[in-house]
Structures are given as structure tokens and as C-alpha cells.
Structure 1
Amino acid sequence: MEENTMKSISHNTSDASLRLVNDTTVPPLKEGDVLIKVSAAGVNRLDLLQVRGLYPPPPGESEILGVEVSGTIVSLSPLAGSNSGFKIGDRVMALIGGGGYAEYCTAPYQCVMAIPQSLSFDKAAAIPEAYLTAYQGLVWNGDLQDNQTVLIHAGASSVGLAAIQLARVLREGVVVIATSRTEEKLVQCTENGAHFVINSKEKDFKEEVMRITEGKGVDVILDFIGGSYWDNNIASLATDGHIVLLGMLGGVTTPSPVNLGLLLKKRLTVKGSTLRSRSLPYKERLVSE
């Protein structure tokens, strides 16, 4: 590759504006990296937060937005060339720490995946961050098992829809309940495989969950809401249940003091989880699964 500059999208946190930059330097290859000519990039909530100055990239990562991309490999470092199995011209999608909203980006070869021929660049770009986050939440953090019931809040979000689909195929007999605040989004949840949907704006999701599960509660909750949902989440969990906290759209504090006795009595597990700031070995293991 001969180009030294590229187009990229920059942002201004003071007014959350975006602008096209024509002379950004193409990122240099580090050992173990591949250089990707970007065809499409996903939009995630963390990008929207970063634009507002609320989610800075981890140290050492690009300030440019974009953490999941699809495109074509145009260059490989020696280590990537000898260990990755990829070559120039391969169609790939990648999980990156930043830099996706540009003509070119780099990615560790361990976080790069081949795109099936049946999948377009646009669709492939929506997979790495969303689906790996959902997989991590359901399997690694939530310990989802066969014949369990999972409650997925914000079911029509990118990770929510991915989680609905994955829960149906990763384990046998899983029942999926999804919540959202509009009927249009609930239709999306149903179309993507949710067995039951709850309009959390109009109904008490705790009461609906207990009705659906005949008083047992759910085994796993993927929660993007946080504080405002805490009490009802705890009440919705079955004994030995797991809450995986993936976001805080509803605030960082609970509406009432946390009753630790319920956590103890029901043997509950509450775990917060992120992906962008994880180590490369962690991401490599996640991608390999």
C-alpha cells in the first residue's frame, strides 16, 4: 500500500459534532497487526458516548470512533502474515479498540475473522462488537445452560438482538423474554426469536416475568439499564440466577438501598462486564470460541 493519508471522521466533544477529515495519517502496522481497507463500520452506543466525551478510548487506542469494521486486508505485519492464515485481499471483519470510522484501520490478527461469502460487508460490520458482547454476557458471565430462561432488557438494541438470536442457538430449550419501550421494537424482538416480549413502559416487567415463568423467575438477565431496574431485576431472578450488567441507561444508583439479604438468600450472582478495555489474550480467546 502506497497511500500515507486517508479520510476519517473526527468528532468534537464540546458540541458532539462530526466532520470529515481528508488528511489523516494511515495508522502504522504494529507487530501482529493487519491493515484493513474499511468497507463498513458498526455504530455502537459507546461511539455515541465517546462523541459526547463520556467514553474515552482505552490508553493506546485510536481517538477515531468505531470499534467494529468489515473490509479487505491490504497489508500484514510479519507476525500476522506467518501466524494468522490471512492474506492480502481477504474479506474480513474485526473487533478493534478504535479507528473504524476511517478509510483504513489496523487490528490485531487475533481479533480478525473471515467473512462468509454469503455475508455482505454491511452486515458483517455489525457482528464483532455486538455479537461478541452478547456471547460474553450469556455464556461467560451469565453461565446460560440448557432449558433455562433468559431476560434481555433493551431487546431491540444491537447487543440485545444478538443476544436473542444467540440464546436460541447456543443452548437447547432456552426461553427468551425481551423487554423494550415501544411496540415497534417489540416486533423486532419477536422477529429475531424472542418467545415473550414485555413493554416495560406500560407494564411492570417483574410481574410479567413471574407470570410467564409461573413464579419461578428467570435464570439470567442481560441488563443495559442499571440503577432504575435493580429492584425488579432482583425480584425477577430465580434462585442461583445471574445478572450481567452491560450498561447504565437508567442511572448508576438504585432507587432504594440494596438488600444484600436477597442476594444471599437466593444465591444470586451480579457481574458487570465490558469488552473494549479487555486485554488482547481475553479478546483472542473470545474470538476463537
Structure 2
Amino acid sequence: MTTMRAVDIEGGKGPVSALHIANIPRPKPTGAQALVKVKAFGLNRMDLIQRIGEYTLPPQAPATLGVEFSGIIEELGDAPERDFKIGDKVFGLAYGGAYAEYIAVSTHMLVHKPDELSWEQCAGIPETWITATQAIYLISHFAPGKSILWHAGASSVSIAGIQLTVADGASAVYATARSDEKCDFAIKELGATAAFNTRTSDWVDEVMKATGGKGVDVIIDFIGADYFQQNLNAIAKDGAIVILGWLSGDQIKDGLDLSAFIRQRCTVSGSSLRSRDEEYQGKLRNQLVEHALPRFLDGRFNVIIDKVLPWESIQEAHQLLEDNKTKGKIVCTIGS
């Protein structure tokens, strides 16, 4: 078989209505790659940006959407990791191509699927949990005893990050969200210390009250421009702000007060995962396997899935994510 079905975008970019399933060439695994028959794939906000043509792809990424998946190895290249063989059930992270019946992906980015977790759960782990791991431990240098704030507290990365930092000894874990329902979710379901509704309260004031005027040690931000000054106002001395997205835009408004950089001795870092090389991503995969996977198996960590849809409903799936009303992952399944 030289072709396969995959989600395509009519005209190469466009609105939700441009998504459809088409026949494209089936990839061939080479070197350390495996060819995986996809059972399920997770959706991420970057998929929406890529769909409309505003995401700069890394050079090794195929045009097909999707970076996380679960499935069964059907074929191997000539130099795979020794731990993987044909027939293995796996899940993993890719540079792209997961919205398809088959994906060619490095075995360095695969994880053996535990029997205790479903195909859908495994498809919702790689991108979000590895992104959270990177932000916490490699970028912000979070350590036990520090306080942390997760913006967009009901988003998939923050769901992972709140659970990780609660488990790893944060002195306090805060979150922001745009509804009371999502704030309650962050506290009651994920274990956050407190969560602040950004529509009905001044979250900076709330953070300062909660921390006794000290501010928070680490802020993980996906909002971008609208929160840049507020992040500076809420950060503690020697704190770290990590920017992972710009949902409110990438242009900072006039009147930015830069004094916090000196007054608070804070750092602001930006990061992405998809642009990282395979060696870097492989180390994060190993950290996921060693640090988080055992906690999924014993129930301390949960993969929160908002909706599972057949991949034929890909337009509905993208619309759900675009409407920003979900709590957790949207996952699509392929076949039975």
C-alpha cells in the first residue's frame, strides 16, 4: 500500500470548513524511525494556528497536522531503538503527521503504552505533559518550596503542570481562568491552592493578597501581550516568567513599565517544544517516562479528556478547541 488517508486542508490553509480527509502518500520509516498505525491523536492549539497558515513548521515536519498520537508499530527503519519491535503498542510525540492512518516517527520519541491506559488517554499525554515538564524543570528552574501560577488553568498544558507542581512540593499552586467553573475545576479536580477568574477579578491583586505581597515565584503564561505587564506586577523577587504562547496577541501595548526587571530581578523566557532537536526532545521523553508515567499508573496523575470524537468529525473537534470552552484534551480516534 503506497497511500493512506489523512486529514488535509483544502487550499493548504483555511478555516475549520477546509478540513477534510484525503488520500496522501504513506510514509516510509528510515533510520531510527518506526511506522505506527495510528489509533488516536490529540489536538493542540498549535494545530489551529498551523491550519490557518500562521505556524512556522520545523524543517523536518510534514504538512499534515498533529504532533501526538497512540498506535501500533507496523514497520521499523534500519536503526531503531532496541526496545521497540513490530507489534508494540506505543504512544509518542512527532514533529507532525499524526492526523493520519500512519505516521513515521523516531523511536527516540516513542513510549511503550501501558495496559492500564487507553489509546485515547495515551494520545493526550505527549505534547502537553512534555511541554509542562520542559517549562517547569528546564526553563523556569522550579524547585520544591517555590510558588507557581499557571495561566489558562483549564488548558491541557496547565492541567498537566498543576498536577506536576502540586505533586513536586510547590509551596502554593495558583491558576487563572475565564470562568468560575474552570477555576473550581483547577482547585477541586487538580489540587490548585487557589484560582482566579480573570473576567470578574483583578488576578494580580488576588495573587498579591494570597502571597502576602511577595508575589509568585514562577509564572507560566500562554496569553502573551495582554498579560505581560500584569505578569511583571505579580512576580516575586528573583522570579521567572515563562511565555509559551500569545493567545491575546504578540504586540505589547505602549506604556510598559520595565522597572520590574531591575526591582524584582526577574527573568522572562520564551520557549517552544516543536522546534527543539530530537536529542532534546528525547531527554524530555525519558523524564516523562521516569517521573510522570508511574503516577499515571497508580492514579496520582490523571489525563483529563474533555471530548473523544471519530476523526471523521475533525471539523467539530477543531471548532470545539477554537471556541475555548473545553477543560482538557480533545482526542480523535481512527477506526474501531
Q: Shift of residue 51 of structure 1?
A: 0.9
In the superposition, the TM-score normalised over structure 2's length comes to: 0.82
How many Å separate the matches in 2 of 1:131 and 1:173? 17
Larger relative contact order (C-alpha < 8 A, sep ≥ 6)? Answer: 2
Note the alpha carbon deviations across 1:42-94, whole angstroms, 9 max, x for none. Answer: 000000111111114222311001000011111111210xx331111111111
2:15 is the counterpart of 1:19: no
Q: Shift of residue 173 of structure 1?
A: 4.0
Comparing 179-188 with 33-42, greater Cα deviation is found at 179-188
Note the alpha carbon deviations across 1:1-42, whole angstroms, 9 max, x for none. Answer: xx3221111013134420111x32111112110111101000
Amino acid in structure 2 at the alignment position of 1:226: G
Contact preservation (8 Å) 1:84, 1:109: no
2:87 paired residue number: 89
The count of corresponding residues between Structure 1 and Structure 2 is 283
Aligned to 2:121, the other structure's residue is in SS state helix
1:241 paired residue number: 239
1:188 paired residue number: 185
How many Å separate the matches in 2 of 1:238 and 1:215? 9
| Match 1:152 to one of 150, 153, 162 | 150
How many Å separate the matches in 2 of 1:174 and 1:111? 32
1:269 paired residue number: 267
Contact preservation (8 Å) 1:167, 1:174: no
Gaps of 5+ in 2: 288-336
How many Å separate the matches in 1 of 2:278 and 2:256? 35
2:173 paired residue number: 176
1:19–1:173 Cα change, 3 Å:
closer
Q: Shift of residue 234 of structure 1?
A: 0.6
Note the alpha carbon deviations across 1:214-252, whole angstroms, 9 max, x for none. Answer: 111100000000111111111111100000000001121
Equivalent runs, 1:21-60 vs 2, <5 Å: 21=22, 23-60=23-60
1:69 paired residue number: 69
2:121 paired residue number: 123
Contact preservation (8 Å) 2:143, 2:170: no
Amino acid in structure 2 at the alignment position of 1:123: Q
Query: Among the aligned pairs, what percent are the same residue?
Result: 39
2:292 paired residue number: none
2:216 is the counterpart of 1:218: yes
Contact preservation (8 Å) 2:14, 2:52: yes
Superposed CA RMSD:
1.3
Contact preservation (8 Å) 2:30, 2:78: no
